[in-house]
């Protein structure tokens, strides 16, 4: 349980960091325990962590600010071991070097600075720049799904080899959702827009749509049913066929009978003229 001095100090610091958060940093205490703080570091530009969403906790001792907090980063980053206590001059590994004048914003700014360096310490890991970029791309998915597991926070059990305040991978995102509901909602929308598989964190392939001709599409869209449409198509086909034929082709029999009639008429006229001449 926090001492009155610690509660007063942390309440004051929460008001300050909410009003004027440091660049790329947001943080708040848990509603149930003012000694448990949750932070989000956004990966700064021109770093392998650019755009990444790194979630972690600060576990303050009851006599803060006369002793430093335990610092953990839960989101896999390629820089720190997830949920492992970090050995820093501002963490509980070095209580004698901690300055009571340092605030939450000071601690988190120091953590971000250390993260973007290559200095090694207890809890840090080595990874290539490309590997860290890949981790950054998957941070939102990991935070909101706990790495793709459906396990709930109640199923985790109380034992955790990494100590109090650690987040067990595979909690289904329950703890993150509890502490950061707005960010969790944004993450889920982002996953939907980017077609991210919640189980794997990978982009789902686009299912090809079956090809459909314009004529067939017209049949599907016709509200009066396919039978009427088929009759209309046949009728339209006849019109098109007739339009494509010449006038002579369509009236050939009339021309034939007309020519025959004209021949007979002319022949009779010529025959009558010949008889009159002989007479």
CA distances from 258 to 65, 191, 251, 254 (A): 118, 79, 11, 6
Q: Strand, helix or coil at 10?
A: helix
Q: Which two tokens stand for residue 37?
A: 């703080």
3-state secondary structure 70-122: EEEECCCCCCECCCCCCCCCCCCCCHHHCCCCCCHHHHHHHHHHHHCCCCCCC
Spatial neighbors of 75 by CB under 8 A, at least 6 apart, are: 52, 53, 54, 55, 56, 82, 139, 142, 143
Of the residues 26, 67, 87, 153, only one is catalytic, namely: 87
Q: Which residue has the tokens 């941070």?
A: 139
Q: How far apart are CA 101 and CA 137, in angstroms?
A: 36
Among this protein's residues, is 87 annotated catalytic?
Answer: yes
Catalytic residues: 87
């Amino acid at each position: 349980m926090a001492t009155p001095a610690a509660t007063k100090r942390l309440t004051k610091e929460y008001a300050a960091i909410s009003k004027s958060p440091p660049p790329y940093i947001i943080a708040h205490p848990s509603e149930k325990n003012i000694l448990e703080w949750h932070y989000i570091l956004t990966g700064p530009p021109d770093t392998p962590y650019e755009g990444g969403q790194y979630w972690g906790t600060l576990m303050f001792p009851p006599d803060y600010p006369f002793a430093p907090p335990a610092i953990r980063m839960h989101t896999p980053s390629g820089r720190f071991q997830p949920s492992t206590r970090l050995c820093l001059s501002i963490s509980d590994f070095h209580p004698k070097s901690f300055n009571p004048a340092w605030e939450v914003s000071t601690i988190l700014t120091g953590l971000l600075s250390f993260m973007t360096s290559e200095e090694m310490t207890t809890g840090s890991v080595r990874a290539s720049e490309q590997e860290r970029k890949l981790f950054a791309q998957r941070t939102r998915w990991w935070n909101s799904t706990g790495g793709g597991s459906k396990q709930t926070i109640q199923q985790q059990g109380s034992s955790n080899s990494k100590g109090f305040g650690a987040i067990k991978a595979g909690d289904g995102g329950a703890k993150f959702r509890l502490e950061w509901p707005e960010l969790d909602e944004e993450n889920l929308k982002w996953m939907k827009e980017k077609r991210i598989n919640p189980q794997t964190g990978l982009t789902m392939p686009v299912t090809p749509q079956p090809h459909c001709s314009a004529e067939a599409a017209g049949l599907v869209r016709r509200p009066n049913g396919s039978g009427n449409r088929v009759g209309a198509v046949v009728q339209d086909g006849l019109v098109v066929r007739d339009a494509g034929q010449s006038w002579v082709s369509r009236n050939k029999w009339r021309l034939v009978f007309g020519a025959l009639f004209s021949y007979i008429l002319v022949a009779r006229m010529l025959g009558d003229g010949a008889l009159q001449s002989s007479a």
